Structure 1
Amino acid sequence: MSAGGRETAPTNLIRRRNKDETNGDVSAAADRFRDRFEKATLEERKAATTTMVNEYYDLVTDFYEYGWGQNFHFAPRYAGETFFESLARHDSKIDYVKTDFCNMSLADNTFDGAYAIEATCHAKDKVKCYSEVFRVIKPGTCFVLYEWCMTDKYNPNDEYHRTIKHRIELGDGLPEMETCKQVIEYMKQAGFVVEEAIDVISQFESSPIKSIPWYQPLVGDYSSLQGLRSTPIGRILTNVMCRVLEFVRLAPKGTYKATEVLEEAAESLVVGGQLGIFTPSFYIRARKPSKQA
């Protein structure tokens, strides 16, 4: 897998459509996805989590890989460090098994430890997800987690805060985001002993070492072509390009709607970071007791 961004637009997104070809799948999928947030209840959204997350990544994966490359997550970043250098801290070579993290096809007490980085935010039931991790790791070993959370600064009675939270959930295909305190409680309910729980983002921000905000890649800059894509001008150009490609049938109808979803995510992630009400890097180290009660 490459940490570098693509030089060209994704080939499976841009291709000439026949005039007789049905070209509404992307548009219909984008409409269905948005309806799950705008028209469905929270309970209905959670019940359809698997479908919702699959639809979300069907819509946005090509754009993610075009903009970020095949390997991406948010990371704290030191001054003078490039975006991809900050990602490399968490990169590793791994084998993988595709399975449902709320119902893993793995044996009990198998692994010497586990980690999850910005992944379990898609779980509709955090306790069940964490319980599955608890089940498959050996007694006495650790589960290390980076979770997307609303921080203590988030006020559920503040309409603007709720709007930002909702737009992050919509734009990133999340059934529901919990607070840091809720996540700690869910880990305990799953059976773990929580040994450490910190917001890595706030640690970086309070450090005497100069750092760059984690959301800076979403803000963009005009000093490079890569940074330009995330600036207001870059986003306008992307939107215009998507509309033109739709019009000449080089991109599926609804491609622009998919970019709108991503725009909402990017804008709200930046605001959530600036207000300090959201963190993508709530770190927890939890241990499975050596002796089960």
Structure 2
Amino acid sequence: MKMPFSNDTFDAVFAIEATCHAPDDGEVELDNGLPDIRSVGQYSPLPWYLPLDTTQFSLSSVRTTAFGRFITRNMVKALEFVRLAPEGSQRVQAFLEKAAEALVEGGREGIFTPMFFLVARKPRSIEVCARHFFY
């Protein structure tokens, strides 16, 4: 990436989920074989961590609000108590909630950004039609 360091500055460098910070998108595309790469900021003006932020309220993602997490926390506790959820479910729920809080803080501080992987599937009716057309 033509970084401002001499070649012998580091013994090794490890980067994961960091291409959105690259100064030259074109070089990332070329080196990684990624056609038409775009940063998250080019898709949405909203911060990526907004759905995890408990200070925000959204009817579309009420489960991630402070109220939604309160309900989830108590539902998991009740389900584990009556043994409909396995032992340890509360610990996992607490761990995931703490991870979400850390992700939001990392996003606010600008020290963490996610990498997205999208899978798309064409509707079956188009697939059947295409098969019929080409056979």
TM-score by length of 1: 0.27
Backbone CA RMSD of aligned residues: 3.5
Instruction: Identify which of 17, 25, 42 aligns with 1:148.
Output: 17
- 1:281 CA displacement: 3.4
Is the 1:199–1:279 contact (alpha carbons within 8 Å) kept by the matching residues of 2?
no
Tell me the distance in 2 between the aligned counterparts of 1:199 and 1:273. 18
Cα deviation code 1:22-58 (max 9, x no counterpart): xxxxxxxxxxxxxxxxxxxxxxxxxxxxxxxxxxxxx
- 1:223 CA displacement: 4.0
Indicate the residue corresponding to 1:274 in structure 2: 108
Gaps of 5+ in 2: 1-12, 30-36, 117-135
- 1:222 CA displacement: 3.8
Write the mapping of 1:156-167 to structure 2, written as runs, cut at 5 A.
none
Is the 1:272–1:278 contact (alpha carbons within 8 Å) kept by the matching residues of 2?
yes
Please give the secondary structure, in 1, of the residue aligned with 2:113: strand
- 1:210 CA displacement: 6.7
Please give the secondary structure, in 1, of the residue aligned with 2:86: coil
- 1:200 CA displacement: 2.0
Indicate the residue corresponding to 2:45 in structure 1: 211
Instruction: Identify which of 39, 43, 48 aligns with 1:200.
Output: 39
Instruction: Identify which of 88, 93, 99 aligns with 1:259.
Output: 93
Is the 1:199–1:281 contact (alpha carbons within 8 Å) kept by the matching residues of 2?
no
Tell me the distance in 1 between the aligned counterparts of 2:87 and 2:17. 32
- Say if 1:195 and 1:233 are closer, same or farther in 2 by CA, change over 3 A: same
Cα deviation code 1:96-124 (max 9, x no counterpart): xxxxxxxxxxxxxxxxxxxxxxxxxxxxx
Cα deviation code 1:150-204 (max 9, x no counterpart): x98xxxxxxxxxxxxxxxxxxxxxxxxxxx7xxxxxxxxxxxxx92279824xx1
Write the mapping of 1:1-293 to structure 2, written as runs, cut at 5 A.
147-149=16-18, 195-196=27-28, 200-201=39-40, 204=41, 211-219=45-53, 221-224=56-59, 226-281=60-115
Higher relative contact order, chain-length normalized (CA < 8 Å, sep 6+):
1
Tell me the distance in 1 between the aligned counterparts of 2:109 and 2:86. 36
Higher percent of residues as strand: 1
Please give the secondary structure, in 2, of the residue aligned with 1:256: helix
Q: Rg larger in 1 or in 2?
A: 2
Q: Equivalent pairs: percent with the same residue?
A: 42
TM-score by length of 2: 0.54
Is the 2:58–2:65 contact (alpha carbons within 8 Å) kept by the matching residues of 1?
no
